[in-house]
A and B are shown apart, each in its own frame.
Chain A
Amino acid sequence: QVQLQESGPGLVKPSETLSLTCTVSGGSITSSSYYWGWIRQPPGKGLQYIGSLYYSGNTFNDPSLKDRVTLSVDTSKNQFSLRLTSVTAADTAVYYCARRDYGDQVFDFWGQGSLVTVSS
């Protein structure tokens, strides 16, 4: 059974960069059938897609965040990462990493989520 675990700072100052890492266990991040994605959820609100990447490095980001988001992968550690620059209070959210089954077009496994608060 695949498991995903987010890690990173829980508090980020405005204008700084949010960085999170997702560690995948129980499966290889280099599997050809899957992309690896990030989704966030502001407190009390719905789910918002951030982006996905393939182990080769191809990335697909939500247009609304495109210029601020960088996704990367470290196959040697079975991890992938998110960097979000110039954060504001509006970026306060629970950040989830998830596995995207490309063929079935579904996020089939999710991490437990990591709350990131943007505040000075």
Chain B
Amino acid sequence: YELTQPPSVSVSPGQTARITCSGEKLGDKYISWYQQKAGQSPVVVLYKDTKRPSGVPERFSGSNSETTATLTISGTQALDEADYYCQAWVSSTAVFGGGTKLTVL
């Protein structure tokens, strides 16, 4: 099973960034999104498609439908520049997308 993400997304500060994650029947699964800044461990920013852990800003939101899940960052800030990974569970195995490098220009 594969999860496909665009290698890179660029956005201007204050604009909306959208990062997609595609996979077969993805809408039937729960998706988590992880943010990984350079040299750091991943941190979960969304789980169960749309839920934000405590401390994650409201500008992070998510959706999941049919074959595509989307992480949306509204009012993107420079500190949001990072790699983002989607993840799903398939037959008790965690599958990660290849990651998307978000650049805030």
Q: Which residues of A contact B (CB under 8 A)?
A: 37, 39, 46-49, 52, 60, 62-63, 96, 100-101, 104-108, 110-113
Contact = CB atoms under 8 A, between A and B. Distances in A.
B29 to A, nearest CB: 9
A110 B51 CA distance: 18
Interface string B76-105: 000000000101010011111111000000
Interface residues of B, number: 22
| Secondary structure of the A contact surface, majority rule | strand
B96 A108 contact: no
Contact of B96 (A48, A101, A106): A48
Contacts of B34: 47, 107
Contacts, number: 57
Contacts of B92: 60
B54 to A, nearest CB: 10
Most buried by B among A37, A46, A100, A106: A106
Interface in B42-64: 42-44, 47-48, 51, 53
A86 B96 CA distance: 24
Given A46-B85, A106-B47, A39 B94 contact: yes
A108 B85 contact: no
23 contacts: A37-B94, A39-B96, A46-B85, A47-B34, A47-B99, A49-B94, A49-B96, A60-B93, A62-B94, A96-B41, A104-B47, A104-B51, A105-B30, A105-B48, A106-B32, A107-B42, A107-B87, A108-B47, A108-B53, A110-B42, A110-B43, A111-B41, A112-B41
